[in-house]
Amino acid sequence: MRTDQEILGLILETAKKLQVDAVALSGSRTNPKVQTDEFQDYDLVYVVDDIDNLTSDLSWLDQFGKRIIEQEVTLGHRRLYLMLFEDGNRIDLTICPKEHINEWVASEADYTVLVDEKGLFESYSPSPERFWIHPASNSDFEKSCNEFWWVSAYVVKGICRKQIIYATDHLYGICQQELLKILAWQIASDRGAVDIGKNYKYLFNYLPIEKEKEFSALLDFSSLDKITQSLLATMEFFHQEAQYLAQKMGFKYEKEVAERMIEYAEERSN
């Protein structure tokens, strides 16, 4: 596997050959709190004057090495090229027109400028608080609880109809995300604003290991029975943690609604 120095050297060498105006590195490699490992991507941007000229012939990407798989994504005025190489390295390279550099900056929590002879990044600054969670307001809390209990009925419907994908999508994609939000608000209630990372990836750094184990146990969606078990356990977990946060923050919690929804789920999904 090529070293960091080899990959970064190749990135800068390629940028020079292509006459790229500026180069910046973002993502986990710019965060000193993140433990390094072989799976860290090189999240990069090449800021260019003429994006069409550079993307009309992509043979220059071969300079980075032989790829196992790749993907091209359009993001606003930018082009993103996701590349996994045979040696295990991965480069996520954004090509961004210089007149739309603000789009890229707005999408990143933090970044390090590697090349910028024209000073294109000088009027911008990273937004390191992009993935920070702040203490909840009473309105935030009420909306989260209402969303959780309302969508839990969709999960019940999916289970009763034996629609595994439908039920799982609503359970993990919405209900369990609201549960994670409640847990994050508990942390923020003690610490103030905290960095929980993209997709809550640092959340359990702040919580007892038992909480992580309890949440991890909810993630078996391999059958309708397992989805049903996960839903009922998720509801009990949310009910417990929401009551705790409400008591701590002095928020109103619709306990009767929660208990009726748990009863509704138990009656129909067993």
* CATH number corresponding to 4-116: 3.30.460.10
Distance, CA of 112 to CA of 110 (rounded, Å):
7
pLDDT tens series, the chain, 270 aa = 889 899 999 999 999 999 999 999 998 888 766 777 888 899 999 999 999 999 999 999 999 999 999 999 999 999 999 999 999 999 999 999 999 999 998 888 778 999 999 999 988 876 656 678 899 999 999 999 999 999 999 999 999 999 999 999 999 999 999 999 999 999 999 998 888 887 898 899 999 999 999 999 999 999 999 999 999 999 999 999 999 999 999 999 999 999 999 999 999 887
pLDDT of 129: 62
pTM tops 0.95: no
219 C-beta neighbours (distance < 10 Å), count? 13
Beta-carbon contacts of residue 88 (< 8 Å; ≥ 6 apart): 1, 38
pLDDT of 253: 95
For the chain, give every domain's residue range. Answer: 4-116, 132-269
Beta bridge partners of 100: none
pLDDT of 52: 93
pLDDT of 254: 94
3-class DSSP state for residue 20?
coil
Alpha helices in 44-137 (DSSP H): 51-55, 101-106
Distance, CA of 270 to CA of 226 (rounded, Å):
12
pLDDT of 166: 96
Beta-carbon contacts of residue 109 (< 8 Å; ≥ 6 apart): 26, 126, 127, 128, 129, 130, 131, 198
Beta bridge partners of 91: 42, 83
pLDDT of 270: 74
Q: What phi and psi values does residue 40 have, to the nearest 5 degrees?
A: -70, 130
pLDDT of 39: 85
CB-side exposure of 148: number of CA atoms within 13 Å?
A: 32
Residue carrying structure tokens 């799982």: 168
Give strand ranges (E) for the chain: 22-26, 42-48, 67-75, 78-85, 90-97, 111-116, 132-133, 194-195
The DSSP secondary-structure symbol of 197 reads -
Beta-carbon contacts of residue 232 (< 8 Å; ≥ 6 apart): 262, 265, 266, 269
Q: Is the domain covering 132-269 a CATH 1.20.120.330 domain?
A: yes
Give the residue among 94, 90, 49, 103 at the shortest CA–CA distance from 73.
94
